[in-house]
Amino acid sequence: DAGVIQSPRHEVTEMGQEVTLRCKPISGHNSLFWYRQTMMRGLELLIYFNNNVPIDDSGMPEDRFSAKMPNASFSTLKIQPSEPRDSAVYFCASLGGNLDEQFFGPGTRLTVL
Amino acid sequence: AQSVTQLGSHVSVSEGALVLLRCNYSSSVPPYLFWYVQYPNQGLQLLLKYTTGATLVKGINGFEAEFKKSETSFHLTKPSAHMSDAAEYFCAVRHSGGYQKVTFGTGTKLQVIP
C-alpha cells in the first residue's frame, strides 16, 4: 500500500494568495483527518471526515480555512487568503476498517511570506 | 473530555541507557491509548497501542508501554537507547466508543547522547 499521500510536500506562497493542500487517504479507510503542527501550538486537529462527511470542524481556525472531501479517495484543505501565521506543517491522516490507529501522511510544509 | 499530559518536553539519555517517557491521561470512559514517533521532516508513525486486554503492550523498535488504570498512566520505555531513537514522541488518547477523534499530547523530544 502506498500509504497516505499528500501534495505538495512543500509550498511557499505570498500573503494573500490561495493555497490548496491535497490528500489521498489509504484505500478502504473511511475517516480522514487534517492536522496542523507548529512549534508554538503543537499538533492541532483542524477537521475530520467520516464517510466523506465533515464530523467535527471545531478546530478550523477561521473562515479563511475550508476543507472538502468530494469522494472517498480525495480531500483538500484550502486557505484563502493565506497569512504568515498560517505557516506550519499540515498533516493528513486516515483511519478505517477495524483498525484503531490513524495513519499519517508525510505532511505539507507551508510557508507564507 | 479526554486529554493527555506528557511530562518533559525534552528528555536526554545516553546511548544504551533506559528510555522512560511519561504520559498520563484523562478519560471518562475506557480509553484507547497510543504512542506515535515522529522523525525529522516526517509524519507520525505508530509505535504501539493499547485497546483492551494485556496491559503491557510491545511495539516496534523494542519499545513497550504499560497501561496502569489506577495511575492513569501509559509510560513508554525501552531498556537500551539507540542513536536512531532520537525523535519526537507523542502520546495520544481516544474514546473506546465509535468516536474517532484522537487527542495528542504536546510531545517529548528524545535526545540520545553517544
Chain A neighbors of B6, CB-CB under 8 A: none
Higher per-residue pLDDT: B101 or B22: B22
Q: Encode pLDDT of B72-94 as tens digits.
A: 999 999 999 999 999 999 999 98
Q: Is the pLDDT of residue A1 over 70?
A: no
| B85: Cβ contacts below 8 Å, ≥ 6 apart | B19, B61, B78, B110, B112
Q: Is B3 on the interface with A (CB under 8 A)?
A: no
Give the model's pLDDT for residue A74: 96
- CB nearest to A105's CB, from B43, B46, B90: B43
DSSP B85: G
Q: Is B42 on the interface with A (CB under 8 A)?
A: yes
Confidence of residue B20 (pLDDT cuts 50, 70, 90): very high
Cα B85 from Cα B63, distance rounded (Å): 10
Confidence of residue B24 (pLDDT cuts 50, 70, 90): very high
Place of cell 495511575: B71
Q: Tell me which amino acid residue B17 is.
A: A
Q: Is the pLDDT of residue A23 over 90?
A: yes
For B46, how many CA atoms within 13 A lie in the half-sphere containing its CB? 18
C-alpha cell at A102: 490513524
Asked if residues B48 and B61 have their Cβ atoms less than 8 Å apart, the reply is no
Name beta bridge partners: B104: B92
Please state, rounded to an integer, the average pLDDT across all residues of chain B. 92
Cα A92 from Cα A113, distance rounded (Å): 23
Mean pLDDT for the stretch of residues A34-54: 93
Mean pLDDT for the stretch of residues A27-50: 92
- Preceding peptide of A8 cis, ω within 30°: yes
Interface test with A, best of B47, B48, B102 (most A CBs within 10 A): B102
Query: Which helix (DSSP H) or strand (DSSP E) does residue B25 occupy?
Result: strand B19-26
Q: Is B70 on the interface with A (CB under 8 A)?
A: no
* Degrees, nearest 5: CA angle A38-A40-A41: 70
Q: Which of A107, A92, A103, A106 is nearest to A28 (CA)?
A: A103
CB contact under 8 A, B43 and A102: no
Chain A neighbors of B46, CB-CB under 8 A: 101, 103
CB contact under 8 A, A105 and B104: no
CA-based nearest distance A43→chain B, Å: 7
Instruction: Specify burial of residue B23 (Cβ count, 10 A radius: 0-12, 13-18, 19+).
Output: buried
Contact residues, chain A to chain B, C-beta under 8 Å? 4, 31, 33, 42-43, 45, 48, 50, 55-56, 91, 93, 95, 100-107
Q: Is the pLDDT of residue B97 over 80?
A: no
Chain B neighbors of A48, CB-CB under 8 A: 100-101
Q: What is the DSSP string of A12-66?
A: EE-TT--EEEEEEPPTT--EEEEEEEETTTEEEEEEEEETTEEEE-TT--STTEE
Name beta bridge partners: A110: A11, A88
